[in-house]
Homo-oligomer: A and B are copies of this chain.
Amino acid sequence: MPVPILKQGAVLIASIQTALTDTDVLRLQDKLMEQIGRYRSRGIVVDVTALDVMDSFVSRSLRGIAHMTRLRGAETVIVGIQPEVAFAMVQLGTSMEDVHTALDLEEGLALLESLGGEAERRGGS
C-alpha cells in the first residue's frame, strides 16, 4: 500500500499506516524526493507511529531518506517510534544517530520549525 504524503505549508508529512514492503519503502523515497523539488519543502516528517516492527531495511531506508533530503536542502524528522520498536532497534544495534527524531507529529513539526530558524541563524549547517 502506498504511503500517503500530506503537504502542510513548507512541510511534507508521510504517514505510514501499515507494515511496508520493500517496494513501498522505495516508492515512498522516490515520491518524497520528487515532491521536495516540486513544492520546495523545507522539511519532511515521517510518522511511524503505526509500525510495531521496523526491520533493518526500513530503518536503513529512513536514514537514507534523511540523508538525501539534506542533500536537497531540507531536513527530515522521524516521529512516533514506539517503545518496543525503540527497544528492538537498540538490541539489534540499529542506530538513527544522525537522524532527527521526535515523540510525535506535533513535536516533530516544532522541531522542524526550530531547525529552520536555527538553520537561518547558523546558515543550515
Whether B83 pairs with A34 at a CB distance below 8 angstroms is yes
> Within 8 Å of chain B (Cβ to Cβ): is A53?
no
Q: Which of A1-9, A12-20, A72-80 is found at the contact surface with chain B?
A: A72-80
Interface string of A77-115 (1 = CB under 8 A from B): 101010101110111000111101111000110011011
| Interface pair A107/B40, CB less than 8 Å apart | yes
Residues of chain B within 8 A (CB-CB) of A70 are: 96-97, 101
Taking a contact as CB atoms closer than 8 A, the residue among B72, B77, B112, B118 that contacts A122 in the complex is B118
Task: Determine if B37 and A71 form an interchain contact, defined as CB atoms under 8 angstroms apart.
Answer: no
Q: How many residues of A contact B (CB 8 A)?
A: 48
Residues of B within 8 A of A81 (CB): 71-72
CB contacts (< 8 Å) of A102 on chain B: these are 73, 124
Listed by A's residue number, 17 A-B pairs whose Cβ atoms lie within 8 Å are A33-B87, A36-B103, A37-B83, A64-B91, A67-B86, A67-B95, A68-B83, A68-B87, A68-B90, A71-B81, A71-B90, A71-B96, A72-B103, A73-B79, A73-B107, A77-B124, A97-B98
